[in-house]
Amino acid sequence: MDKESTLNIVHAVLSLDCGGLERLVLHLCREGIRQGDRVTVLCLDKPGDLAQEVRSTGAEVMTLSRKPGLMRPGEAIRLRKILRELSPDVLHCHQMGAALYAGSMARSLHIPAILHTEHGNHSYQGWRRKLLASIAFALPHRLYCVSGEIADNLSNIPFVRSPAIQFNGIPIPSPSELRPDPERRSKLGIGAEDFVIGSVGRLVEIKRQERLVKAVAALAKRGRSVHLLLVGDGACRAALQNLAENAGIGDRVHFTGFQMETLPYLNLMDIFVLSSDSEGMPMALLEAWAAKKPVVASAVGGLPDLVSEGSNGMLFPPEDQRRLTELIEMLMDAPELRNRLGENGHAEVVSCYSATHTADAYRSAYLELLNERGTASLFGALRKTGPHE
Q: What is the percent of the chain where pLDDT is above 70? A: 96
Task: Identify the pLDDT of residue 378.
Answer: 43
Region of residue 17 (phi > 0: left; psi between -120 and 50: alpha; otherwise: beta): beta
Per DSSP, the residues of 14-67 read EE--SSHHHHHHHHHHHHHHHTT-EEEEEEEEE--TTHHHHHHTT-EEEE--PP
pLDDT tens digit sequence for 175-201: 999 999 999 999 999 999 999 999 999
Report, as an integer, the average pLDDT of 203-207. 95
Position 155 pLDDT exceeds 90: no
- Going by the DSSP 8-state scheme, the letter that residue 330 receives in this structure is H
How many Cα atoms sit within 13 Å of 90 on the Cβ side?
30
3-state secondary structure of 178: helix
Position 24 pLDDT exceeds 90: yes
pLDDT tens digit sequence for 93-150: 999 999 999 999 999 999 999 999 999 888 888 888 889 999 999 999 999 998 888 8
Mean pLDDT of the chain: 92
Q: Which domains does the chain have, with CATH numbers?
A: 8-169+354-382 (3.40.50.2000), 175-352 (3.40.50.2000)
pLDDT tens digit sequence for 320-346: 999 999 999 999 999 999 999 999 999
CA distance 274 to 314: 10
pTM of the model: 0.81
Task: Identify the pLDDT of residue 28.
Answer: 96
End-to-end CA distance of the chain: 18
Task: Identify the pLDDT of residue 33.
Answer: 96
Report, as an integer, the average pLDDT of 202-223. 97
Contacts of 206 (CB under 8 A, 6+ apart): 276, 277, 278
pLDDT tens digit sequence for 66-91: 998 888 999 999 999 999 999 999 99
Task: Identify the pLDDT of residue 280.
Answer: 81
Position 377 pLDDT exceeds 70: no
Q: Is the dihedral of CA 341, 342, 346, 352 positive or negative?
A: positive
Position 287 pLDDT exceeds 70: yes
Report, as an integer, the average pLDDT of 148-174. 88
pLDDT band, very low/low/confident/very high, at 3 (cuts 50, 70, 90): confident
pLDDT band, very low/low/confident/very high, at 375 (cuts 50, 70, 90): low
